[in-house]
Amino acid sequence: MTTMDTVTITVDAILFDMDGTLIDSTPGVFKAWATFSKDYSLGDSVEIAHATHGRRLYDTLKEYCQIDDEAELIASAEIDRFENEVIEGGPTALPGAAALIEQLHSPDIRGWNIVTSASNGYAPRALARAGIPLPPDGLLVTSNDVSHGKPHPAPYLAGAEKCGKDPTKCLVVEDAIAGLKSGRAAGAKTLAVCTSTPRETLLASDAHPDYVVTDLTQVSARWVDGKVEDAIALNEKFKTLKADSSCSNGENGCVGDKFAQCVGGKFVAQACAPGTVCAALPLVNSPGTSITCTTAADRDARIAATGATPGGAAPPPPPAAPPAGDNNAGNGGAAGGDAQTSLTLDPDVIAKGFDNDGQSVPAAGQVASLTSKNNFINFCKTVNLPITNGAQVTGGSCNPAPMGVIPSTKNMPSSKFVFPTNGATIKPDTQFTIQMAIRNLETGNFVNAQQNYFAAPQQLNAQGIIRGHSHVVIELLTSMEQTTPLDPNVFAFFKGLNGKANGAGILTADVDKGLPAGVYKLSSINSAANHQPVLTPIAQHGSLDDAVYFTVA
């Protein structure tokens, strides 16, 4: 294993999960589920233990033991009985947890908290048994403090509120996918520890952690002007990387002084511009790093400004920027060669209208357009963000791919839900099939969403129809009269409709477990093959998507 330099981030507070992050209660949890599986005839207790990890015990007992009456659940003391068995199993502190909490623990600073899916009766006992101190001033957030458990954002929003901090300026430390999704939905940065879930599973999940470490021995912290500064050692790769080092597709790094991208399980290196080297640099206005080509002096100055040792910092898991150098290097014209491999802009495709800011014909409220004489080919050099590079970069990125081919007005796509219809009522917790009619979209065209996201222009088929696919998403409302905008990070059901529509032009999606009682919004998201929203030739047009509202009761 190679040793990496550190990545330093500064946040206002750190919000820790408990089980699987700070303490290990696995033996007790397995023992408790074995007892309850026998009492309630549930089947494989180990499978249930894994499936319920990171969720509130209140929710999992209701689901698996089918205790529908809340009063019965509390009065029967089943939660207490379960948690007592876990305590008897002897929770222990996980590697690095006690040392990290010791670095943070200060009675005068409300800068860290524990946000757990356990109850307020269990959590303090488990922490005491494992030798982990409680947060200052009783800041602990338990299942009793929130109406929704993880992956809902409520737990970590409550954790940030108890610290008096903005959740977007907090770091959530979690081992479970449900918890990481909860932290991200709350707007926080997320650090995943691979104590209960393999690294590969975490990175492949829809939790999209910003940082990943093996355990908390790789994390240290200190207070700087009332803020907590994390030096996160992201082990593996970098200083000893070679071109033949194994890697995961989409991964970026530096091989020597060259920028390297992983293609087909091996690094492909690209030389930086003269006078520059490849380095991972801390971002200027936000936590994290980007991998790019820069001068050695700039590299050392930016890393030194974080308090870390100059010489390059390790990248967080999300893919970052390819080389900034060579964008203006001449390699000969496209004439007589392959225009799709040439690094020179062909004059025939320059849009001269891009040099017009539109203000020669003024209109009330109209603002000037950005302008370019070279089709914005180097636009991403003007922003301090990583290149999208085919990945879903949750922290923001810059995408250099052209918008692509635009259909005619007669070929603009649209969709309409066939079932459920607007105002419909369906039964709770009962399987149903979404049906959506689609027109003017050649369905069944979708690329690898992890490696080719927004990575190619929109394309048309021979009939001038956009090649693409659709999605459906269901969101829970507080009522049919809700007027507050919804949070796009939170949804009850999401499905990519990657197959072709049937002969009647209908796409379908099965909601296998149905939905709990409530009021919901169902929307379509029609996309081109590379997952970008479909583009049309005119500004004034009808909606390209559909939405209906229905009740589950």
Selected catalytic residue, list 5, 12, 17, 24: 17
Label each residue of 67-111 as H, E or C: CCCHHHHHHCCHHHHHHHHHHHCCCEECCCHHHHHHHHCCCCCCC
Instruction: Please give the share of the chain, as a percent, with pLDDT higher than 70.
Output: 82
For the ranges 119-128, 130-139, 482-491, the one whose mean pLDDT is highest: 482-491
Top-confidence residue, 332 or 495: 495
17 is catalytic: yes
Residue 79 is predicted with a pLDDT of 77
pLDDT above 60 (res 75): no
Q: Does 328 score more than 50 pLDDT?
A: no
Q: What backbone torsions phi and psi does residue 471 show, to the nearest 5 degrees?
A: -145, 160
Residue 57, burial from CB neighbour count under 10 angstroms (0-12, 13-18, 19+): buried
Q: Which amino acid is at 401?
A: A
Q: Tell me how far apart the alpha carbons of residues 502 and 433 are, in angstroms, rounded to a whole number.
A: 14
Nearest Cα to Cα of residue 260 among 284, 283, 237, 233: 237
Determine the average pLDDT of the residues in 41-57: 76
What letter would DSSP give residue 205?
Answer: S
Q: 164 exposed, middle or buried (CB, 10 Å; 0-12, 13-18, 19+)?
A: exposed
> Is-catalytic flag, 68?
no
Which has the minimum average pLDDT: 95-109, 287-301, 308-322, 357-371?
Answer: 308-322
Weakest-pLDDT range from 326-330, 527-531, 541-545: 326-330
Over range 429-449, report the average pLDDT.
95
Mean pLDDT of 126-136: 87
- Looking at per-residue pLDDT, the higher value among 104 and 421 belongs to 421
Whole-number CA gyration radius for the chain: 26
From the list 138, 70, 133, 67, the residue with the least C-alpha distance to 100 is 133
* pLDDT-wise least confident of 194-198, 304-308, 357-361, 364-368: 304-308
Q: Is pLDDT at 337 greater than 50 in this prediction?
A: yes
pLDDT score for 321? 30
pLDDT confidence bin for 427, thresholds 50/70/90: very high
Comparing 401 with 352, the larger pLDDT belongs to 401
pLDDT surpassing 90 at residue 18: yes
pLDDT at 520 exceeding the cut of 70? yes
Among 57, 219, 24, smallest CA distance to 127 is for 24
Cβ atoms of 145 and 158 closer than 8 Å: yes
Helix/strand/coil for 187: coil
* Residue 284 pLDDT > 50: no
Query: Among all chains, which residue has been given the structure tokens 């089980």?
Result: 19
Residue 243 — pLDDT band, cuts 50, 70, 90?
confident
pLDDT band at residue 302 under the 50/70/90 scheme? low
pLDDT, the chain, mean: 81
| Euclidean distance between the first and the last CA atom of the chain, given in angstroms as a whole number | 55
Interhelix angle for 57-64 vs 78-88, to 10°? 110
* 381/301: higher pLDDT: 381
Buried b (16+ CB within 10 A) or exposed e, 342-379: eeeeeeeeeeeeeeeeeeeeeeeeeeeeeeeeeeebee
Q: What pLDDT score does 518 carry?
A: 96
519 vs 294, higher pLDDT? 519
How much is the average pLDDT of 392-401? 92
Predicted local distance difference test score (pLDDT) of residue 46: 78
Q: Which of 19, 24, 210, 545 is catalytic?
A: 19
**What pLDDT is recorded for position 288?**
46
- Secondary structure of 214-228 in the HEC alphabet? CCHHHEEEEEECCEE
Start-end of H helices in 105-253 = 123-130, 154-163, 177-185, 199-204
Identify the band that residue 399 occupies on the pLDDT scale cut at 50, 70 and 90: very high
Neighbours of 325 (CB within 10 A): 21
* pLDDT value at residue 542: 95
pLDDT, tens digit, for every residue of 202-211? 888 899 998 8
Decide: 212 and 199 in contact? Cβ < 8 Å: yes
Question: Domains in the chain, start-ordered, CATH in brackets?
Answer: 7-22+92-232 (3.40.50.1000), 26-88 (1.10.150), 409-552 (2.60.40.10)
pLDDT at 178: 92
In this prediction the pTM is 0.44
Tell me what pLDDT residue 483 has. 95
Is a pLDDT exceeding 90 seen at residue 49? Answer: no
pLDDT at 26: 80
pLDDT average, residue stretch 27-31:
81
Lowest mean pLDDT among 42-56, 117-131, 272-286, 316-330: 316-330
What number of other Cβ atoms are within 10 A of residue 284's Cβ?
Answer: 9
Average pLDDT over residues 186-200: 90
**355: pLDDT strictly greater than 60:** yes
**Of 232 and 437, more confident:** 437
Is the predicted pLDDT of residue 544 greater than 90, yes or no?
yes
Residue 137 sits at φ, ψ, to 5 deg, of: 60, 30
